[in-house]
Each structure stands twice: as structure tokens, then as C-alpha cells.
């Protein structure tokens, strides 16, 4: 089966750690199915090599993009992602930033949808407590929500269930 490209940006290492946990979960389906790239040193060409793309982004500075994603974002405007199967995950802190929880994942969804990607892996927002999020549509997030600051204990089960969901949605 075709490889999955996972692209993350991370300022204090939490999104990076979650990226490798996701990779490990996919290894149970097939070893080395996921190739992990730091967006700080990855080009649009590398991302466009993949048909299956997972993108991880933390929210920083109260509702803003993480620095490396901020640099990469303008590239989406010249990328045609038609036919690409994309799944998103975001990291945030619902207790500290409840009015901007996971906002960057919502901003990312807007970009990849504008680039014509098919976005999969929507995730229920029920087990989180926050006021507002740009990543929320009705009772779902546009991707997996991870909170390593306030709900670290829930992370392994969330990753495992989400990877199973992606596996089903992508027919892997
Ligand atoms: C200064 C600062 C601003 C933050 N702003 C937000 C925010 O607006 N929304 C949110 O959900 N999380 C926010 N966070 C939490 C981070 O997204 C969270 O700690 C994340 O796990 C960091 O990921 P990283 O280590 O991969 O960079 C903020 C954290 C800090 C320290």
C-alpha cells in the first residue's frame, strides 16, 4: 500500500511526540506505513508526493499558527490537493486557552479544503471543555484534538481510536 506522509510543526515537542505515537499506531497495521516530516524542513513537493497525508498543528500565541506552519501556509495557495486524502490533528490547551482551543487546526482545515483536498478523520468534541474553537463544526472537530496540557491521560486511547477510524475511512 502507498505510504502515508505525516507532516508536523512543533515548538516545544508535544506535537512531534504525538506524531511518532500516531506512526507507532499505524505500524501495527503495516510497519513503516507512515513517513514523518518536520514541516520546518519539508517542501510542498515532498508533501505532494503522497496521496495519503496526515497533518499535525499546535495552536500558539492565543489563536495563532505555530511558527513553522506560519512560514509554510502561503504554499497551500499554490497547491492542488485534489484527490489527496488528508487527515488533521491539532494540539492545544483547553484550560489555558478555552476561547481559542485548537484554532490553528481550523485554520489548517480552511487551507487544505481551499486546495481541494478530501478531509477525513472528524472527531467528536464531546469529551473536551472549552468555550470556542475555530476547529469545531457543530459537535465535531475537523480532526483529532489532543490536549497534552490538561488531558494527557486521554491521549493514547484517542490516538488509537482515531487511527482505527482513519484506517476504516481510507480503507487501509
Ligand atoms: C504562549 C502560549 C500560547 C498558546 N495558545 C494556545 C491557543 O490559543 N489555543 C490552544 O488551544 N492552545 C494554546 N497553547 C497550548 C499549546 O498549543 C500546547 O501546549 C501544545 O501542546 C504545544 O505543542 P508543541 O509543543 O508541539 O508546540 C498555547 C501555549 C502557550 C505557551
CATH of the domain at 50: 3.40.50.360
Q: Which domain holds residue 57?
A: 4-170
Q: Which residue has the cell 487551507?
A: 111
Whose Cα sits closest to atom 8 in ligand 1? Answer: 62
How many Å lie between the centroid of ligand 1 and the Cα of residue 30?
32
Q: Relative to the CA of 63, which ligand 1 atom is closest?
A: 8
The number of folded domains in the chain is 1
10 lines ligand 1 (CB under 6 A): yes
Give, for all 172 residues of the chain, the pLDDT tens digit.
789 999 999 999 999 999 999 999 999 989 999 999 999 999 999 999 999 999 999 999 999 999 999 999 999 999 999 999 999 999 999 999 999 999 999 999 999 999 999 999 999 999 999 999 999 999 999 999 999 999 999 999 999 999 999 999 999 9
Give the predicted TM-score (pTM) of the model: 0.98
Is there an atom of ligand 1 within 6 Å of 149 CB?
A: yes
Query: Which residue, chain included where needed, has cell 471543555?
Result: 129
Amino acid at each position: 500500500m502507498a505510504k502515508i506522509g505525516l507532516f508536523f510543526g512543533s515548538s516545544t515537542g508535544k506535537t512531534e511526540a504525538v506524531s511518532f505515537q500516531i506512526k507507532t499506531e499505524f505500524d501495527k497495521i503495516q510497519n513503516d506505513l507512515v513517513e514523518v516530516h518536520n514541516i520546518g524542513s519539508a517542501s510542498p513537493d515532498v508533501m505532494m508526493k503522497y496521496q495519503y497525508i496526515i497533518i499535525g498543528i499546535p495552536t500558539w500565541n492565543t489563536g495563532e499558527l505555530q511558527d513553522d506552519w506560519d512560514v509554510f501556509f502561503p504554499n497551500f495557495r499554490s497547491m492542488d490537493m485534489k484527490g489527496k486524502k488528508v487527515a488533521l490533528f491539532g494540539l492545544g490547551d483547553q484550560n489555558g486557552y478555552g476561547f481559542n482551543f485548537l484554532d490553528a487546526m481550523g485554520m489548517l482545515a480552511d487551507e487544505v479544503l481551499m486546495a481541494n483536498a478530501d478531509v477525513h478523520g472528524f472527531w467528536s468534541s464531546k469529551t473536551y471543555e472549552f468555550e470556542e474553537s475555530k476547529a469545531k463544526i457543530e459537535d465535531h472537530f475537523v480532526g483529532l484534538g489532543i490536549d497534552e496540557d490538561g488531558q494527557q491521560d486521554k491521549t493514547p486511547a484517542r490516538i488509537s481510536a482515531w487511527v482505527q477510524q482513519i484506517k476504516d475511512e481510507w480503507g487501509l
